[in-house]
């Protein structure tokens, strides 16, 4: 990992934090470590930024075990402890019961269980912000998946609130590609603990990943362009009348009547 790449990573994380006001003075940020390269990169980037950022914030980390890791978690704990990181490991008993009772349960149930555990741990850690390691790749894939399969032009929220508004949920790797997190985590020598689900093939996610990989051979800046597009909407060239200049409010009564007649046909 060259110093240039490291600077690029910190600049991109800093830009996301600044643009979306992710972190504020006095925040305690809990990083959700999934065991993968992305969240490890996020943790390290936040630790480095906390040392030199103009705002004061503290960083801790935690991992929720839901019975899907393919390797023992201990090496990760040892590595974090050696670096002086405050890390909490939480074996989520309800998730293990779910795995026993419904081994083929889907992502909806699994992520609902994880969300409950994440909030519980963050509360115990005294955190008011929870940071997730979703990358630029995840944002681009989500955009395509939502547009193609749910009929909605949306990706992921860079900042959101938990339902009770007690936690700010942030995704500071929004501008960081997985090419960069792989290089950074590799250079750190961090032990990556793979999740069984990441090996699944034949899923929609896998197809979209393959599509990107194919296109990126000829168009290497595809994801940068998609990220720019997400921050540069032209509502007049889309079909949502709530945001078009001549949208619902501007439609004359005669046109509304014509629409009613046509839809009654
Ligand atoms: S991919 Fe696996 S770990 Fe992730 S939400 Fe789905 S079932 Fe859970």
- Report yes or no: 63 and 31 within 8 Å, Cβ to Cβ: no
Which atom of ligand 1 is nearest the CA belonging to 198? 1
Distance 133 CA to ligand 1 centre (A): 15
Strand 129-131 versus strand 87-91 pairing type: unpaired
Which atom of ligand 1 is nearest the CA belonging to 110? 8
Distance 107 CA to ligand 1 centre (A): 5
> Does residue 242 lie in a domain region?
no
Cα separation of 160 and 134, whole Å?
Answer: 13
> Does residue 94 lie in a domain region?
yes
Query: What integer best gives the mean pLDDT of the chain?
Result: 92
pLDDT given at position 201: 61
- Report yes or no: 65 and 73 within 8 Å, Cβ to Cβ: yes
Ligand 1 pocket test, candidate residues 107, 108, 145, 205, most atoms within 8 A of CB: 107
Q: Which residue has the tokens 């950022």?
A: 53
Residue located nearest, by CA, to atom 5 of ligand 1: 107
Distance 106 CA to ligand 1 centre (A): 7
Tens of pLDDT, residues 68-104: 999 999 999 999 999 999 999 999 999 999 999 988 8
96-126 CB burial, b ≥16 within 10 A, e <16: eebbeeeeeeeeeebeebbeebbbebbeebe
pLDDT given at position 12: 97
> Does residue 240 lie in a domain region?
no
pLDDT given at position 203: 80
Residue located nearest, by CA, to atom 3 of ligand 1: 197
Q: Give yes or no for residue 48 having a pLDDT over 90.
A: yes
Q: Which two tokens stand for residue 167?
A: 């936690």
Q: Which two tokens stand for residue 139?
A: 């944002």
- At 14, the pLDDT band (50, 70, 90 cuts) reads very high
Q: Which residue has the tokens 């590799």?
A: 186
pTM: 0.91
**Closest by CA position to 61, among listed 41, 86, 40:** 86
> Does residue 228 lie in a domain region?
yes
Distance 234 CA to ligand 1 centre (A): 34
Strand 28-32 versus strand 168-170 pairing type: unpaired
Bridge partner list, 53: none
> Does residue 253 lie in a domain region?
no
> Does residue 264 lie in a domain region?
no
> Does residue 221 lie in a domain region?
yes
Residue 166: CB atoms within 10 A of its CB come to 11
Mean per-residue pLDDT, 113-139: 97
Residue 180's domain spans which residues? 3-235
pLDDT given at position 263: 67
Distance 11 CA to ligand 1 centre (A): 30
Bridge partner list, 130: 30, 169
pLDDT given at position 113: 95
Tens of pLDDT, residues 240-251: 999 999 876 666
167 to 59, 60, 107: CA distances (angstroms):
15, 15, 22
Distance 16 CA to ligand 1 centre (A): 26
Ligand 1 pocket test, candidate residues 64, 94, 108, 110, most atoms within 8 A of CB: 110
What is the number of domains present in the chain? 1
Q: Give yes or no for residue 20 having a pLDDT over 80.
A: yes
Residue located nearest, by CA, to atom 6 of ligand 1: 107
Q: What is the CATH number of the domain that holds 78?
A: 3.40.50.620
Residue 137: CB atoms within 10 A of its CB come to 19
Residue located nearest, by CA, to atom 2 of ligand 1: 197
> Does residue 250 lie in a domain region?
no
The residue length of the chain stands at: 265
pLDDT given at position 1: 59
**Closest by CA position to 159, among listed 130, 126, 180, 137:** 130
Q: Which residues line ligand 1 (CB under 6 A)?
A: 68, 107, 110-111, 195, 197
**Closest by CA position to 136, among listed 182, 196, 192, 169:** 182
């Amino acid at each position: 990992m060259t110093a240039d790449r490291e600077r690029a990573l910190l600049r991109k994380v800093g830009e996301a934090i600044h643009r979306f006001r992710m972190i504020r003075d006095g925040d305690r940020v809990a990083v959700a470590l999934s065991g993968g390269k992305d969240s490890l990169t996020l943790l390290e980037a936040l630790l480095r930024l906390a040392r030199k950022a103009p705002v004061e914030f503290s960083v801790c980390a935690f991992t929720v075990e839901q019975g899907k890791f393919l390797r023992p978690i201990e090496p990760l704990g040892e590595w974090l402890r050696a670096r002086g990181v405050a890390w909490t490991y939480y074996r989520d008993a309800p998730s293990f019961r779910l795995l026993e009772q419904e081994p083929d349960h889907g992502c909806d149930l699994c992520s609902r269980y994880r969300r409950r555990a994440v909030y519980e741990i963050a509360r115990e850690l005294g955190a008011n912000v929870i940071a997730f390691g979703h990358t630029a790749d995840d944002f681009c894939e989500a955009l395509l998946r939502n547009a193609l399969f749910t009929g909605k032009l949306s990706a992921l929220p860079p900042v959101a609130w938990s339902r009770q508004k007690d936690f700010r949920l942030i995704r500071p790797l929004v501008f960081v590609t997985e090419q960069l997190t792989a290089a950074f985590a590799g250079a750190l020598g961090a032990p990556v603990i793979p999740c069984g689900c990441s090996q699944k093939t034949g899923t929609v996610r896998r197809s979209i990943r393959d599509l990107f990989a194919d296109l990126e051979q000829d168009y290497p800046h595809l994801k940068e362009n998609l990220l720019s597009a997400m921050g540069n909407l032209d509502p007049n060239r889309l079909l949502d009348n709530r945001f078009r200049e001549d949208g619902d409010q501007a439609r004359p009564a005669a046109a509304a009547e014509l629409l009613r007649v046509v839809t009654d046909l």
